[in-house]
Structure 1
Amino acid sequence: MNIINKVTIRHMRQNKRRSLVTIIGVIISVAMIAAVTTLGVSFLDLMVRQEISKNGEWHVQYEHVNKQQIQAIKQDGATEKVILSSGGYATLEGSTNAYKPYLYFQNYDEQGLAQFPMTVSEGRLPASEEEVAISSVIQENIEMPVQIGDQLTVEIGQRIHEVEGKVLTQTDSLQISDGQSFEKLDNLETKTVTITGILDRPEWEPAWSPGYTVVGFIDKNKLDESETFDAFVVVSKLKTGLYDHAKTFADDNGIEKVEFNSDLLRYYGVTGNDRLRLTLFSLATIIMVVILIGSVALIYNAFAISVSERARHLGMLSSVGATKKQKRNSVFFEGAVIGAISIPIGLLAGFGGISLTFVFINTFIEDALNISEKLELVVTPSSLLLSCGISILTIFISTYLPAKKAAKISAIDAIRQTEDIKLSGENLKTSKWVRKIFGLEAEIGLKNAKRNRKRYLALVFSLVISIVLFLSVTYFTDGLKQSMEMVRSDSQYDLQISGNGVGESDLPKYRQLQHVTEATMIKSTWAEALIEPERLPERFAAQLETGEVALEDGKFRYYVDIHGLDDASFEVYAKKLGMNAETFGQGSLKAIVIDQVSYEDAASGQFVQTKTILSDVGDAIDLYSQPYDEAGEPAEKERLSTFEIAALTNEVPMGVETAVLGGLNVIIPEKAFEQLKLTDDQFMHSIYAMSTDPIATQEAIEEQNDMTIQVQNVYRQRQQEEQMILLMSVFTYGFITLISLISIANIFNTISTSISLRKREFAMLRSVGMTPKGFTKMIRYESLFYGVKALAIGLPLSIAVMFAMHWSLGYTFQYGFTLPWMSILFVVLMIFLIVGAAMLYATAKIKNDTIIESLKQENA
């Protein structure tokens, strides 16, 4: 170790407080970087494990492939494993659940039985084509329960829709209406099998599927040339090109249909949606840049202050022959020493902190995300290297400017300590209005800031970074929440009861069911409206110009969903909008229009939030029906009615699902349906209910064995979406809190150190007669100047960063850019509060210092 480095270490030991503050700052910065990278990797690992535990590990699915095509798949260079699967339905004799009349035979080869998630509660999995394992729920829903060792003789075939002729799968619910079934089993094959095991109900069996799962076996050595199977492929290398490769391979080998395990591939970072990938990468880049800037701001000030304190020390080194390179390297060496101490501790702190967070979160994450797996700390070599690399880069950037400054310090300037003080008249010039409006103390405070411009800018820089960090992370959080709101379904109910068996008189009956807290009945129908081009929203107008949509008689055809709420529900809904429900039943037809919708655009893959129509309250819209002639061709439109827009809102009542662009949701009271002059077969009734126990409520309804109604339970999906947003809010607001605490600590450290270095300056002012009251007034105005300057720079920068985030999200989610005014107001108040508190805290520490001792102070 050379003499310069030895002197640097000795100086660090003599200034233990400053060195410790710098080390703690770097530790916090490194811990934050490590925690963020580890959180991302660990959360993706959780989602990967959860997806595998639910749907198995596979990447590409080739449907209905024969023996020859299976051989080609195995020989494909991109294939690592091939799993064969087939399925079929058989009637379940003695089923006590009218909505589940089938057994669904899901057959796998030996590889599939190991690869797909199945939990055997009793017995074993099948080992031959004459053996099966059945779901445990079958025993609970059959008149004569079966046991291990029993034989089943069944006729297995395909579910076919009798009207449409299409093949139905497990994702298709039972095709039944008014007690009449519209499906049948076809291509039946008789088979006798022996039960060898009992399974827990598989996760991959949809709750609404009409068949109970039975797992069978496929013997790969007995494949028939005429049989077809589904081939699930695990690829050897996960990369984006697998999408194009699989499609090309399917075309080359005559395979008609290929599917991808999109959820699992997305968690691996492989997605065929270029817009989504661009969104993820650009967002990750913006967040990393924000963290990097915050970390640099935190550490830079410590080294800048260190160089200011060491000015005389560096000047002495210069006077005894130290070169510019040696002085510059002494600052870099100080950064290296601090990094060597701080980075390992910071990494351990980051990993340890996030690990403790996982312990806390795992107590409720299962319910929040509806998952069975736990968050585990995952530290990959890439995340470790990324954390170290960003931390080293942060320290280097933080030391670079102070190192350059140290290299330029001459011996004379350092000993006289004139480098930071600029006394030219031009630099100290202030407006005459400052003294007239605020007084002499304010002018002195402003001149104090101008005298040491670099220290003044360093403090303003800290404030600006704090503003940008807080507003950026807040906007990022709000943007993610809004994006998730756009993706989630707008079902605001737990249960939907529909069918011809539901009538106007049934609402009280369902409201009285146990656990039901709220219920509404909606009488619904649809109509058409012709809308003028000038009333089309911007996105629709653009499609009109490009020819994607066309006009009809100079107007555009809108599909209008008309929803008639029962009187009690409509009164509550109108009151929420600040309207009187009674006015809707008087005179002409009045309606509330949902004028803002969120939907996924099929062409671009974007999630769009947009206005549905450009109209004002009081505008009228004509409604038409579209009859068809005997040949099925559209006949002349019939005018139904005209309604007046009584309100435009984005508030959606329970049970109403918003339309896509080109559609309107119109809300009216149920009694207003009389003005539409519709026949009974032109509308339908549905009841939507909220329940404290939706499962029990559904079972109570199904126990009525009324085949004229259907019950749809959306509770699980809606609960998962809501708790996902809640969990994300916990993480993001935790991050905001961390950013805020770091920013506050940075500001306090910078201001207190700056005040400490100005002891001589303050002592001179007191020695020429400045009173304690005047001194306090000067500090307050100086705080005001710092805050105003920081806000003048920080707010525009923050808006630019927020717009960049909005642009990034715009690749996948399209919604209007709005400023978070409440967050901006909060920042303005907090900046003045923090700066003022920090200035008062720092000056309180030097208030009792004597003038003589302060004048003798040297920054050595």
Structure 2
Amino acid sequence: MNIINKLTIRHLKENKRRTLVTIIGVIISVAMLTAVATIGVSFLDLMKRETIAKDGEWHVEYHNINPAQLSLIEKDDVTKDLIISNDRGYAVLENSENPEKPYLFIKEYSTEGMERFPIALTSGRLPRTEKEVVISDAIADNANVTYQIGDQLTIDVGKRSYDLEDRELLQDDSLKRNEDNEVSEQLDNTKTETYEIVGTIARPEWEPYWSPGYTVISYLDEELLTPTDTVNASVVLNKINRSLYQHAKNFADQHNIEHENIRYNSELLRYYGVTGNDGLQATMYSLVGIIMAVIIVGAVSLIYTAFAISVSERSRHLGMLSSVGATKKQKRNSVFFEGAVIGAMSIPAGVAAGLVGMAITFHFINTFIGDVLNTTQRLEVVVTPVSILVACSVSIVTIFISTYLPARKAAKISAIDAIRQTQDVKLSKKTVKTSKLVRKIFGLEAEIGLKNLKRNKRRYQATVFSLVISIVLFLTVTFFTSSLEKGLELTQANFNYDIQIFSSDEILESEVDVFANLSHVTESSTIEEYYFSTSIDQSDIAQSLKESVESDQDALQDGKYNYSLNLVALDDESFQAYAKEINFDPNAQGNATAIVIDKSIHYNESGKIIEEKSIYTDPGERLSLYPDNHEREEEQFLGEIEIGALTDHVPMGVNLPYQGNLIAIISDKMIDDLITEDVKTDGNHYLYMNSSDPMATQEAIDDVKDSSVHVYNVYQRRQADQQLILLLSVFIYGFITLISLISVANIFNTISTSISLRKREFAMLRSVGMTPKGFNKMINYESIFYGIKALLYGLPISVGVMFLIYWSMQETFEYSFMLPWMGILFVIVMIFIIVSAAMLYSSGKIKKENIIDGLKQENI
């Protein structure tokens, strides 16, 4: 090691506090980069495992494939593993006490399918021949039909059909009934089969809750297939990339496979970063690119600020080296060597800190996920060479840049200027000039504080830059969070209830009381729904419809557009509670006053999800009611309702309308005044309930309901939606907390180091008579100047980045741009609190020092 490097290490050791501050800054930055990469990789790994646990591990599926085509798929270069399955059909479940599930559904899997699909064996073993089956535990639990291992099961297996639909009914199709609530579907082409029961399984996750058949799994032997048999082939690919979509289509064209028979495991592929939706793909990459760029800038700023202050203080030491013969190259290399030493100590520690921090975080998150979200999988810290390499590479490049600029500057400084440390202090009249208003309004202390900032311009800029980055980081992540939640809200079904009870006849009040008072029911609401149409002036229709009618004037009749109108009548108690939620007093209005939902969600032709106002009007306007058709005869006029309030908030059981549709909410007491008895017969009647135990509530409903009542339990689907939203929220808000803590540490680091480097300056002010009160006022005004300057730069930059995120979301979603005003207000308040706290904390230690010692101060 040469003498220059030895002196550099010695200098680092003698200035322990400054060296430690720099090392901590780099460690925090590297830990942040590592944590972000680990969160992303681990979260995707969790979602992959959760999806595989529910839907099986496969990527592309070909339906109705014959053995010849099956052989070609197996030999395809992209095929890693092949799963063969077959929906053998349905059979009547004798003695079933569950009228909503009268069938057994027989599903056949090959050996690979038994391994790749989530089949949870609860007793016995899996089938090994085509004459063996395992049955679902749900048969005994819900249908009250008991089978034992070893029993012979003789059933007539066929395909479900329905006269009104020219297709085979599948597992996703609910049970078909007629107007009299009688089962109106049948089994065709039945064949008697005898199976031996060799085991039992838990109800499969992939079995839809509304499916009319309990799952029974049998074995599929590929060697027994005849040339006329057809099966489903699920392919596990060697490599997963976006070309798989085109490859599947090309393969299908070459081997006479219909495109509609190709299915993709879209949810699993999404977590590999692969999707067939160009807009969604663009949104994913642009969002990730923007947020990663912001994070990297934050990390770079943290490292750069630490080194910039460090080298600035070290300029005196470099000047001494120059005075004893050190060349420009040696001085420059001395700075590079300092960066290498600090990087060698900080980068490994930062990577370890990031991984340990994520492991601790995941430990607590897993408890939350297991107890609250009821997920089957747990978060695991997934470390990939790429993620660690990226974190280290960015840190190394950042340290190089952070040392390169100060190193060039250090090499050019003359020995006299470096020793006198005049390069960072600007004393020209123009540079330190301040407005006369500053002294008049704030006093002499404020003017001195502002001049101090101007004199130490580089340190001042470094502090402001650190504050700006902190503002941008926090507001960007806050807006990113709200954007993700908005996108998720637009794509997820809006189930705000657990159980729906439907009847084509009016649900009697006595029946409502019975259902609503069942155990575990926490909330209930009855709804009557009637369908009309209404005419809306062209100037008042939704924006997307205005664009449509400009190219198609035939869509208008006498300058008006025909809207479908769903008139939803709530029971009086529910209506009053709903009106209170939106701050509307229905009692102050006249009869036939409605609350109109003025927001809609729909897909456009390119598949983009659009959220917009469904109607532009004001309370007090009236809507005419016509039959739900396209006729417009005057004698068909049925009545009208007055708009009492407009809102985007929907009550329980009601979803946002689609394009060209309006929803009007009224009280059931208004129905008799609005519509006639013959119109009322065409309405639908629902009871919606929330329950603390939806499964137990459904069992209780099944025990008391009659055959005309249908029950739809959406608990599982709703739970899945909430699970995704809550899981995403845990990560994102955890990340906001991490960013906030790092930002605060960054600000304290920068300000405390800057204040420490000004010890001699503060001692000089005190030596010429500045009182403690005046000193405090100067520090306070400096804090204000820091905060104002940071906000003047930080807020516009943040808004710009927010708009970039909003713009990237517009590839897939369309909704209005909204600034996070609460987040902005929070940032403004916190910036002044944090800056003031950092300034007072740092200056408090300086005030305790002796003036003479402060004037002699050379190092931190």
TM, length-normalised to structure 2: 0.95
Partner of 2:278: 274
Question: Which shifted more, 616-625 or 257-266?
Answer: 616-625
Q: Which runs of 5+ in 1 are unaligned?
A: none
State how far apart, in whole Å, the 2-side matches of 1:12 and 1:817 are: 50
What's the CA shift string for 1:705-759, capped at 9, x where partnerless? 5221111112233234334333333322222222222222222222222222222
State how far apart, in whole Å, the 2-side matches of 1:382 and 1:635 are: 69
1:369 Cα deviation after fit: 4.2
1:549 Cα deviation after fit: 9.3
Q: 2:394 aligns with which of 386, 390, 395?
A: 390
What's the CA shift string for 1:466-504, capped at 9, x where partnerless? 111111112122222222222232221111100135524
Aligned residues of 1:312 and 1:859 also touching (Cα < 8 A): no
Aligned residues of 1:446 and 1:785 also touching (Cα < 8 A): yes
State how far apart, in whole Å, the 1-side matches of 2:137 and 2:471 are: 58
Q: Which runs of 5+ in 2 are unaligned?
A: none
1:401 corresponds to 2:405 = yes
Partner of 1:248: 250
- SS of 1:265's equivalent? helix
1:74 Cα deviation after fit: 2.2
Matches within 5 A, 1:432-831: 432-505=436-509, 506-545=511-550, 550-583=555-588, 586-587=590-591, 589-599=592-602, 601=603, 603-626=605-628, 638-674=636-672, 675-677=674-676, 679=678, 680-704=680-704, 706-831=706-831
- SS of 1:310's equivalent? helix
Aligned residues of 2:595 and 2:666 also touching (Cα < 8 A): yes
The count of corresponding residues between Structure 1 and Structure 2 is 853
- SS of 2:10's equivalent? helix
Partner of 1:151: 152
- SS of 1:145's equivalent? coil
Q: 2:380 aligns with which of 373, 376, 381?
A: 376
State how far apart, in whole Å, the 2-side matches of 1:514 and 1:858 are: 76
Matches within 5 A, 1:396-435: 396-435=400-439
1:567 Cα deviation after fit: 1.1
Question: Which shifted more, 496-505 or 773-782?
Answer: 496-505
What's the CA shift string for 1:212-267, capped at 9, x where partnerless? 11111222112112221111111222110111111222233222211101011111
- SS of 1:165's equivalent? strand
Question: Which shifted more, 849-858 or 148-157?
Answer: 849-858
- SS of 1:363's equivalent? helix
- Please tell me the residue identity of whatever aligns with 1:148: I
Aligned residues of 2:139 and 2:145 also touching (Cα < 8 A): no
- Over 3 Å counting, the alpha-carbon distance change for 1:279 and 1:548 in structure 2 is farther
Question: Which shifted more, 396-405 or 429-438?
Answer: 396-405
State how far apart, in whole Å, the 2-side matches of 1:814 and 1:746 are: 36
* Aligned residues with identical type, % of pairs: 56
1:173 Cα deviation after fit: 1.4
1:368 Cα deviation after fit: 4.4
State how far apart, in whole Å, the 2-side matches of 1:811 and 1:368 are: 34
1:90 Cα deviation after fit: 0.8
- SS of 2:367's equivalent? coil
Partner of 1:74: 74
- SS of 1:77's equivalent? coil
Aligned residues of 1:694 and 1:715 also touching (Cα < 8 A): yes
- Please tell me the residue identity of whatever aligns with 2:278: D
Partner of 2:208: 206
State how far apart, in whole Å, the 2-side matches of 1:144 and 1:851 are: 92
Aligned residues of 1:626 and 1:635 also touching (Cα < 8 A): no
State how far apart, in whole Å, the 1-side matches of 2:568 and 2:300 are: 56
- Over 3 Å counting, the alpha-carbon distance change for 1:638 and 1:4 in structure 2 is farther
Aligned residues of 1:626 and 1:637 also touching (Cα < 8 A): no
- Over 3 Å counting, the alpha-carbon distance change for 1:415 and 1:560 in structure 2 is same
- SS of 1:518's equivalent? strand
Aligned residues of 2:505 and 2:685 also touching (Cα < 8 A): no
What's the CA shift string for 1:294-339, capped at 9, x where partnerless? 1122222221111121111111222233333332222222111111
- Over 3 Å counting, the alpha-carbon distance change for 1:678 and 1:341 in structure 2 is farther
What's the CA shift string for 1:769-807, capped at 9, x where partnerless? 222222221221122111111111111111111111111
Partner of 1:48: 48
Partner of 1:284: 288
TM, length-normalised to structure 1: 0.95
Q: 1:342 aligns with which of 335, 341, 346?
A: 346
State how far apart, in whole Å, the 2-side matches of 1:792 and 1:224 are: 76
Aligned residues of 2:533 and 2:629 also touching (Cα < 8 A): no
- SS of 1:462's equivalent? helix
1:366 Cα deviation after fit: 3.4
Partner of 1:237: 239
Question: Which shifted more, 850-859 or 381-390?
Answer: 850-859
Partner of 1:215: 217
- SS of 2:704's equivalent? coil
- Over 3 Å counting, the alpha-carbon distance change for 1:644 and 1:501 in structure 2 is closer
- Over 3 Å counting, the alpha-carbon distance change for 1:504 and 1:197 in structure 2 is closer
- SS of 1:735's equivalent? helix
Aligned residues of 1:370 and 1:720 also touching (Cα < 8 A): no
State how far apart, in whole Å, the 2-side matches of 1:86 and 1:443 are: 83
- SS of 1:557's equivalent? strand
- Over 3 Å counting, the alpha-carbon distance change for 1:250 and 1:636 in structure 2 is farther
State how far apart, in whole Å, the 2-side matches of 1:444 and 1:713 are: 71
- SS of 1:426's equivalent? coil
Aligned residues of 1:565 and 1:667 also touching (Cα < 8 A): yes
1:38 Cα deviation after fit: 1.0
- Please tell me the residue identity of whatever aligns with 1:698: Q
Q: 1:226 aligns with which of 228, 243, 249?
A: 228
Aligned residues of 2:50 and 2:377 also touching (Cα < 8 A): yes
1:424 Cα deviation after fit: 0.9
- SS of 1:364's equivalent? helix
- Please tell me the residue identity of whatever aligns with 2:581: K
What's the CA shift string for 1:166-191, capped at 9, x where partnerless? 21111111112543112111121222
- SS of 1:197's equivalent? strand
- Please tell me the residue identity of whatever aligns with 1:193: Y
Aligned residues of 2:763 and 2:855 also touching (Cα < 8 A): yes
State how far apart, in whole Å, the 2-side matches of 1:77 and 1:570 are: 61
- Please tell me the residue identity of whatever aligns with 2:439: R
State how far apart, in whole Å, the 2-side matches of 1:6 and 1:581 are: 83
- Please tell me the residue identity of whatever aligns with 1:127: R
State how far apart, in whole Å, the 2-side matches of 1:788 and 1:232 are: 61
1:652 Cα deviation after fit: 0.6
- Over 3 Å counting, the alpha-carbon distance change for 1:851 and 1:607 in structure 2 is same
State how far apart, in whole Å, the 2-side matches of 1:517 and 1:200 are: 29
- Please tell me the residue identity of whatever aligns with 1:598: I
Aligned residues of 1:368 and 1:724 also touching (Cα < 8 A): no
State how far apart, in whole Å, the 2-side matches of 1:576 and 1:286 are: 37
Aligned residues of 2:586 and 2:644 also touching (Cα < 8 A): no
1:515 Cα deviation after fit: 1.6
Aligned residues of 2:564 and 2:628 also touching (Cα < 8 A): no
1:321 corresponds to 2:325 = yes
State how far apart, in whole Å, the 2-side matches of 1:96 and 1:626 are: 39
- Over 3 Å counting, the alpha-carbon distance change for 1:722 and 1:169 in structure 2 is same
- SS of 2:638's equivalent? strand
State how far apart, in whole Å, the 2-side matches of 1:574 and 1:319 are: 82
State how far apart, in whole Å, the 1-side matches of 2:127 and 2:715 are: 35
What's the CA shift string for 1:375-430, capped at 9, x where partnerless? 11211122221222222233233333322322222212112211011111111111
Partner of 1:126: 127
Partner of 1:90: 91
State how far apart, in whole Å, the 2-side matches of 1:437 and 1:319 are: 47
What's the CA shift string for 1:613-666, capped at 9, x where partnerless? 1111122222211459xxxx9999922222221101011111111211211111
- Please tell me the residue identity of whatever aligns with 2:653: G
